[in-house]
Amino acid sequence: MQTLLINPELLASLPTDSRLAGQRAVVTGSTSGIGEAIARVLAASGAEVVVSGRDADRAQGVVDAIIQAGGKAHAISTDLAGSYDTVRTFAREVTAALGGQVDILVNNAGVYPVTSTEALSDADLDAILNTNIRAPHVLVGVIAPDMAQRGSGHIVNIGSWMGRVGTANGAMYTASKAALEQMTRNWAAEYGPRGVRVNTVAPGATLTPGNADFSAALDAMTAGTVAGRPVRPIDIAYAVRFLLSDEAAFVHGSIVDVDGGMNSTRLNF
């Protein structure tokens, strides 16, 4: 649990800067965990942020923390597994809340039932398809054309180390993350020439409030990695902020692994 305890302390003491000043961002699934860390890091760097999720109270709590730290934020709740119209209405609402313009879209919301294939319920299968694949596609379809028309914008998708590794469970979840990585490459080709940079950050085994009960398993999974510990949500947030910065101006269609070396290295073989 030590990693999880460190993350809130770091978020509560974020230094502020102006590298994203004037940028207007929406981070889906940002009421806790990775999404909350992304929202708070972007706000600390000057972005005006829409915090979103299914729980209005939790969204407002993140907004309150951002405002107390001197940032700008809005809470807009929705269920991205809802209808196409629900997702499109959400896109219009966040655009209006940000003064008619979205400069940054972070597709972070996701559900992750990891079971055997025969144990995955129809409801969970629908939730994975709707939240992890359909919602990002619909949001990009609404928001990216406006970015392209202006000639600037950023889209960062949150993938997973599991999207490129075969595991004995979670076939549909891992496939959804592989699909998101491929959409990243396609969107980079589709919108990049018109000024919109599209990339993915792929977290490794990350300790969040949602999986805190499995902290011992995560410690065991990552003990043999280069980093030797689970990823913290703030580690993902820092990578997202880099991709949004001017320093990453030449990064298009890339998958940035933030996994402590889990996918790319083997210490014992």
Task: Tell the residue number behind the tokens 């959804």, with chain if given.
Answer: 176
The active-site residue, picked from 84, 112, 173, 191, is 173
> Residue 158 and residue 206: Cα distance in Å, rounded?
12
> Residue 76 and residue 102: Cα distance in Å, rounded?
14
User: Which strand (E) or helix (H) includes residue 60?
Assistant: helix 56-68
Burial of 268 by CB count in 10 Å (0-12 exposed, 13-18 middle, 19+ buried)? exposed
| 112 labelled catalytic | no
Q: How far is CA 85 from the centre of its chain?
A: 22
The per-residue DSSP string of 90-157 comes to HHHHHHHHTTS---EEEE---------GGG--HHHHHHHIIIIIIHHHHHHHHHHHHHHHHT-EEEEE
| Cα dihedral value 188, 259, 54, 182, nearest 10 | 30
Task: Tell the residue number behind the tokens 């809340």, with chain if given.
Answer: 97
Burial of 167 by CB count in 10 Å (0-12 exposed, 13-18 middle, 19+ buried)? exposed
> Residue 129 and residue 200: Cα distance in Å, rounded?
18
Tokens of 74: 């809005």
| Residues 6 or more apart whose Cβ sits within 8 Å of residue 64 | none
Angle between helices 233-244 and 2-12 (to 10 degrees): 40
Residues catalogued as catalytic: 173
